[in-house]
Structure 1
Amino acid sequence: MITITTENVTQLYNVTATQEFTISPAEFHNNSSVHQMDEYKCINPDTWKWLQTFQPGFLWIIFILGTIENAFVLIVLYFHKSRCSVAEIYLANMAFADLMLVCSLPFWAINISNGFQWPFGLFLCKAVNTINYMNSYSSIYFLTLVSIDRYLALVKTMSLGRMRRTACAKWNSLIIWMCALLICSPTMVFRNLQYFKEYNITACSLDYPTPYWHPANNCLLNAVGFMIPLCIITYCTTQIIKALQSNKSQKLKLIQTERKATLLVLAVLLLFVICWLPFQISTLIDTVCYLAGNLKCLEDINDIVTQMAIYCAFSNSCLNPILYVIVGKHFQKKAVELFKDLIPQRCRKSESVKIENSQDTLRTSISSEHLRKKSVLPLSQ
């Protein structure tokens, strides 16, 4: 059996990467010879080996934290006695998308630890990659819908009220999921199990029919998956900030109520851009390298940057729930109320009885001490 060495980890990882942003299997077959050490003039060849060692543990951490946190968010929003607002419906869908993503990460952790040998079959090969890919599209568009909702609530307060109904929000969420699935259809079609004789492994890899699918997919990800929604979000955010700063808006009680929910949305938007922007930039650089064809040094460096940017983007899935708890006042209130509702009535009664008894004991001791002092004072005189 051929072992996976430091020199050929780059090719293997590019083919089996968790996203569709690196070289295609066609190129892998055309350049099946093992990379030599002197080809890595721009990066340390041990970097890929370090990444291969580091990634499984990191993926397991993201999986554990993300599963607990996003499940907690969904439980609070779903089981609370009050109905979810429009913004909460979109944030709940985003939490569900993050939960799906983190639940797919153990498959890749095991795959990397297993030397890129995919042991889970063809169905999971397609499903896991589709879920990863859907998250990048659905998350940004759910945030776009949240921004539009805040814009309608703070800027267009007296019009377009129908668009802020919960029924409309549910239909919008369904449309986002269907569109994300449609955009990810190439992943379902072109992800296959391939046997690589050079390394004696069966890998879950992309098998594009033509080389042009690669730059086209990158452009789709940059334009549709980031730039277009980011422009909408930027416009809505600018108008929201103006509305919050205006003197007329500050006098309205409705605006003051919506302000707390808006702060949470703005914090989530900022975190999303910080986590996903490096990945979008590395994707753009990858397209430039692919089309230019003579930027080998930049391509090698960008391969490393892309892998680090992917895990920075994955981290967003377990950081969002922390923001809900820290910034989201309405979410904090709902979580506390739900926790109180979960405590049995008997326990709460017994706790209240204990508190009352302790207070009675304290009052009795204070009154007796007061009487004792009154009885002693005349004698001292």
Structure 2
Amino acid sequence: MANGSVYQLIEDCEATHKALYKFYAAVMIITVILALPLNASVLHLFIFKMKFWKSNSNHVFLFNLVLADILLLFSLPIKAYNYIQGERRNSNDAVCKAMLFMLFLNRGASIAFLTVTSIDRYFNVVHPGRKNLLKALKKSPHISIFIWLLLLPLTIPTMLKNFDCCNSHKSDGNQEDTLVKDVVDSLREAVFFTQIVIPFVILVYCTARIVNRLRKKTVGDRTKLRRAVFVVTSVMVVFSICFLPCAIARAVLLLARVEEWREASQDKAAVVFDGLMVLSYLDCLLDPLIYCFCSTKFKALYLSNYFPFLLKDGPLSLDSSTANASNPKRGNVI
């Protein structure tokens, strides 16, 4: 009877470890408190100081990355409230679907723009003289708009209650699984894993090629190559900390359901998955590190506007930060 009760709680999306889920909620609340002003300040610089739409660099990609992070942060307080109430998802159907839409659209956008940023740096370093479509489009908003539009249909399979509760391919003896349900479940899981696995493979390739290029570079300016290595390495760190663990936990959870593990084991797998999903939201705090690695101008401008006491030469204007970006010997901002 006890095992049956645990199984029913899993199916009903009820938290079986309420104290632990309150801890998850606290982590999300702290993330919002720290990340929202940080990302808002970054957004302010991109719009009012750097005028990213006029830039000929990858600032357009970085702007979309911070926009995705901010939109994701707005969803977290509702998720935290549900966890405090002992619910793994919102009981209101419309709110539940809206939450899933926001979470997966903006998480997918965050992963996509991180990947595009690394690909852009890869072409600049490994194939600096070769013309490519990305290099031509990054000066306009077209590729960013395309990425957002491409992500919209990919969120449709995830806008289902049982995805949030990890009930794909469930083995409830009272419900006969149909071919249509199996197809929908498989499609939904394929979208989830594709958004993580394919970008990670691309990032590994870009990182390996850039590092190899740095090793072979014996003459010339190695500073640009080192910065490129920092960029792709930082993106790999974000993926390794935030996205890969939840993908692995999801795979284990699916195996637990398909192989019909004991209810207690399925419950533990679901709890671990929920916790690692909370960990994935920390990318909103880690992404600003990538902004600094990608753009020396951004780093100088951010310090000048919000932490001028860290600069030996005092606050910088946009022009002076640009000059410092091209002349590392001036000031202490790079």
**Under a length normalisation based on structure 2, what TM-score does the superposition of the two structures give?**
0.73
- The Cα shift of 1:13 comes to 6.4
Aligned equivalent of 1:53: 22
Farther-moved stretch of structure 1 (61-70 vs 117-126): 117-126
1:303 correspondence with 2:274: no
Distance (Å, rounded) in 1 between the aligned partners of 2:67 and 2:101: 15
Distance (Å, rounded) in 2 between the aligned partners of 1:262 and 1:284: 30
Conservation of the 8 A alpha-carbon contact between 1:215 and 1:290: no
1:270 correspondence with 2:241: no
1:104 correspondence with 2:71: no
Read off the aligned partner of 1:126 and give its amino acid letter. K
Distance (Å, rounded) in 2 between the aligned partners of 1:117 and 1:234: 33
Query: Which one of the candidate residues 130, 145, 148 is aligned to 2:101?
Result: 130
Conservation of the 8 A alpha-carbon contact between 1:111 and 1:118: yes
Distance (Å, rounded) in 1 between the aligned partners of 2:289 and 2:123: 26
1:280 correspondence with 2:244: no
Poorly superposed stretches of 4+, deviation over 6 Å: 117-120
- The Cα shift of 1:215 comes to 4.1
Query: Which one of the candidate residues 332, 352, 358 is aligned to 2:299?
Result: 332
Query: Which one of the candidate residues 74, 78, 94 is aligned to 2:47?
Result: 78
* 1:282 match: secondary structure: helix
- The Cα shift of 1:140 comes to 2.0
Greater radius of gyration (CA): 1
Conservation of the 8 A alpha-carbon contact between 1:59 and 1:106: yes
Q: Given the superposition, is the C-alpha separation of residues 8 and 99 from structure 1 closer, same or farther in structure 2, using an over 3 Å criterion?
A: farther
RMSD of aligned alpha carbons: 3.5
1:160 correspondence with 2:127: no
1:237 correspondence with 2:204: no
- The Cα shift of 1:245 comes to 2.0
Conservation of the 8 A alpha-carbon contact between 2:210 and 2:225: no
- The Cα shift of 1:327 comes to 8.5
Q: Given the superposition, is the C-alpha separation of residues 177 and 326 from structure 1 closer, same or farther in structure 2, using an over 3 Å criterion?
A: closer
Aligned equivalent of 1:87: 58
| Deviation digits for residues 162-195 of structure 1 (CA, Å, limit 9, x no counterpart) | 531355562222122112111111334x349xxx
1:316 correspondence with 2:283: yes
Distance (Å, rounded) in 2 between the aligned partners of 1:240 and 1:100: 32
Aligned equivalent of 1:290: 257
Aligned equivalent of 1:62: 31
Distance (Å, rounded) in 2 between the aligned partners of 1:240 and 1:167: 20
Conservation of the 8 A alpha-carbon contact between 1:90 and 1:173: yes
- The Cα shift of 1:147 comes to 1.6
Q: Given the superposition, is the C-alpha separation of residues 153 and 327 from structure 1 closer, same or farther in structure 2, using an over 3 Å criterion?
A: closer
| Deviation digits for residues 270-306 of structure 1 (CA, Å, limit 9, x no counterpart) | 2222221110101111222222224545423311211
- The Cα shift of 1:256 comes to 3.3
- The Cα shift of 1:117 comes to 10
Q: Given the superposition, is the C-alpha separation of residues 71 and 151 from structure 1 closer, same or farther in structure 2, using an over 3 Å criterion?
A: same
Conservation of the 8 A alpha-carbon contact between 2:10 and 2:267: no
Q: Percent identity between the aligned chains?
A: 25
